[in-house]
Amino acid sequence: MHYWLMKSEPDAFSYDDLVAKGKAEWDGVRNHAAQGHMKAMRKGDLAFFYHSNIGVEAVGIMTIVEEAAPDSTDETGKWIAVHVAPREKLAKPVTLTAMKADPALADMAMLRQSRLSVSPLTKEQFDHIVAMSKA
């Protein structure tokens, strides 16, 4: 089991949009580092849904339901996508500010490279953010 954090601008696609659809292809990722992380995802892995630009916070947890397959929005055949489904909405969103302020998350990949749209989390980091959402 591995843990991830995935960014989306909520005015384009939000966590509530995912809940409404039930399942969605996480497409449009055009960055090699982020693609590498998506290729490493396995069915059953968990990922935070993070709202960039608006909110700037983790809002929910998703399950990876289908592993890497060709991105249906890509005509070149070079890029892959995974499929995700909503698991649970966080009781309280965890903001980027709160993550940055927490020493336990100092090594988080996203904090070290803010533009990375798909990033890995350790189990400790994942559990810590879940705990913050319930505090």
Binding stretches for DNA (CB under 7 A): 7, 9, 30-33, 52-53, 56, 96-97, 100, 112-117
Residue closer to DNA, measured from CB, 44 or 70: 70
CB of 57 to DNA, least distance (A): 9
Q: Distance (Å, rounded) from C-alpha 121 to C-alpha 24?
A: 22
CB of 26 to DNA, least distance (A): 13
Cα 54 to Cα 11, 12, 21, 92, distances in angstroms: 8, 11, 21, 16
Instruction: Identify the helix (H) or strand (E) that includes residue 109.
Output: helix 109-112
Residue closer to DNA, measured from CB, 61 or 110: 110
Residue closer to DNA, measured from CB, 30 or 43: 30
CB of 20 to DNA, least distance (A): 22
Q: Distance (Å, rounded) from C-alpha 80 to C-alpha 113?
A: 21
